[in-house]
Structure 1
């Protein structure tokens, strides 16, 4: 078996993770000189430079990043196997989730998770774009990606978008349309969904990477073209669109996990009209080799049990 200098691998992982020789030395309780010695020895053995050093700046080379990705999972497996033999159950887990999902759905439910699994030590890694599926980033992911070698993907839910506005905006909307009840509004929007375009509409870029594309698809689902002359308020992220609607700027399209119809603490009202079924489905992603780990099993089970709360009528 052709193995590298094994004592140098945890040193390399620590330097890459902390992006610092001195911080790695402190964490590993060795001198900075010893860290440099380990890295140089590993680079000599591999015949590749692992880091680019420029003054105080330290970066992984392409080869260094590839090597880190390949060995991180193995080092974690060795640590977990050792702890299992010693009778220690690992309860630490890192979950990478999209920012909007974390803020509007996950964080409000964390007290419930803590009550049910008090020993689970969960770290939330918030991402604003599609996270890289790697042990270096997290142990478990909520993602729309569903295909990567070595990973399992459990379907979580399929996103749906629907129009919402603030309570005060809703009352103004009814007054402007000359109707008094939700039932009347529902009948009107069923026949003439284009009347919403008379009011300011809030659009976000993040979902379809194009402004107004969310509303275009919503109208397309009702066999209508996007009306012309709409007064759009444009925001880069769905979180900003949600907050803009809560502050009465207009009507926004939000999804299931951003809206609680039973107790809408943000004061938003769901308009009685068509729900747009988005194409993206969310998955719980994790390494196939880690599927039986107790902490990961607990989190996956809890997330699936909470899934029902994402479903609106």
Structure 2
């Protein structure tokens, strides 16, 4: 396969020509490019020698572009703008941070801090969030994720940082508490008949009501249980007075701070799993993703109540 040879002057020469044409003078172009006038003149001469035609002419104290120069300038300007746009896209792709996580992590943990997290990355960098079911988070690595959120019992020493321990407490709306004040004042084992809210399926790493009652040393009393597919929807139902919900520290903070939900018991139960943010192999090569880990941990730890 033969080699293709492009008869194209250097990028520096093209930039110098565009600057001279736009500013109307070699001196002004030299100032803009932070170089000498002789260097700019050499660039223009190099292009003219390459194609055997004049592109510029002196006119009084300035420079004017010849007809041939005007035609070439249009092409050069378009090419330089395309190169600049392509470079910006490459830089942005390199600086972006793509996160794969569940809807709960996205809505309840990341979004309250989204503006500060984006600002920390600097201009041009974006945060992309890929939401999915917990079981499919590993598949998002192939979609270009730099960071994933997952539950582990032992936090790896490198490329991973603890975001939140799993700490849970029953919560309910003030109106629900007022309605069931008498029975909720008793020991949890006696909360028979008090409606509870639960997730429809096992969400890996998340405790169930049975786990919470077992942790405090009693069986879960019989009652009506309303199920929800999504923890965000479950919290909204609890805030509307539909029943007791398990509140995870970090996830339920905004509801507690606004008093849309209130802790029924002052005792938070701590369980072994921890929510961590982990760098993917792609993320390990992304300086912004590496910087993102400790920042994320610091912001989220500050909102614990």
TM over 0.5: yes
Q: 2:283 & 2:106 partners in 1: Cα distance?
A: 23
The answer to whether the Cα contact below 8 Å between 2:101 and 2:131 also exists between their aligned partners in 1 is yes
1:262-288 CA-partner distances (Å, limit 9, x unpaired): 863471111124323234322211135
Which aligned pairs between 1:157-176 and structure 2 lie closer than 5 A? Answer: 157-174=164-181, 176=182
1:109 aligns with 2:113: yes
Which aligned pairs between 1:167-246 and structure 2 lie closer than 5 A? Answer: 167-174=174-181, 176-177=182-183, 188-189=185-186, 192-208=187-203, 214-227=208-221, 229-246=222-239
Q: 1:310 & 1:105 partners in 2: Cα distance?
A: 10
TM-score under structure 1 length normalisation: 0.58
* Aligned CA distance change for structure 1 residues 247 and 273 (closer, same or farther; 3 Å): same
Which residue of the other structure, out of 80, 100, 107, is the alignment partner of 2:104?
Answer: 100
The answer to whether the Cα contact below 8 Å between 2:174 and 2:262 also exists between their aligned partners in 1 is yes
Which residue of the other structure, out of 115, 124, 131, is the alignment partner of 2:129?
Answer: 124
Secondary structure at 1:198 match in 2 = coil
1:308 is matched with 301
Larger-Rg structure = 2
* Aligned CA distance change for structure 1 residues 257 and 88 (closer, same or farther; 3 Å): closer
Q: 2:98 & 2:171 partners in 1: Cα distance?
A: 33
Which aligned pairs between 1:1-313 and structure 2 lie closer than 5 A? Answer: 90-119=94-123, 120-130=125-135, 131-132=137-138, 134-144=141-151, 152-174=159-181, 176-177=182-183, 188-189=185-186, 192-208=187-203, 214-227=208-221, 229-260=222-253, 264-265=257-258, 267-288=260-281, 290-291=283-284, 293-312=286-305
TM-score under structure 2 length normalisation: 0.59
Q: How many equivalent pairs are there?
A: 211
The answer to whether the Cα contact below 8 Å between 1:142 and 1:283 also exists between their aligned partners in 2 is yes
Structural RMSD (CA): 3.3
Q: 1:281 & 1:298 partners in 2: Cα distance?
A: 21
State the 1:194 CA deviation.
Answer: 1.9
User: Tell me, which stretches of 5 or more residues in structure 2 are unaligned?
Assistant: 1-86
Q: 1:170 & 1:138 partners in 2: Cα distance?
A: 42
The answer to whether the Cα contact below 8 Å between 2:134 and 2:203 also exists between their aligned partners in 1 is no
1:29 is matched with none
User: Tell me, which stretches of 5 or more residues in structure 1 are unaligned?
Assistant: 1-82, 178-184
* Aligned CA distance change for structure 1 residues 264 and 205 (closer, same or farther; 3 Å): same
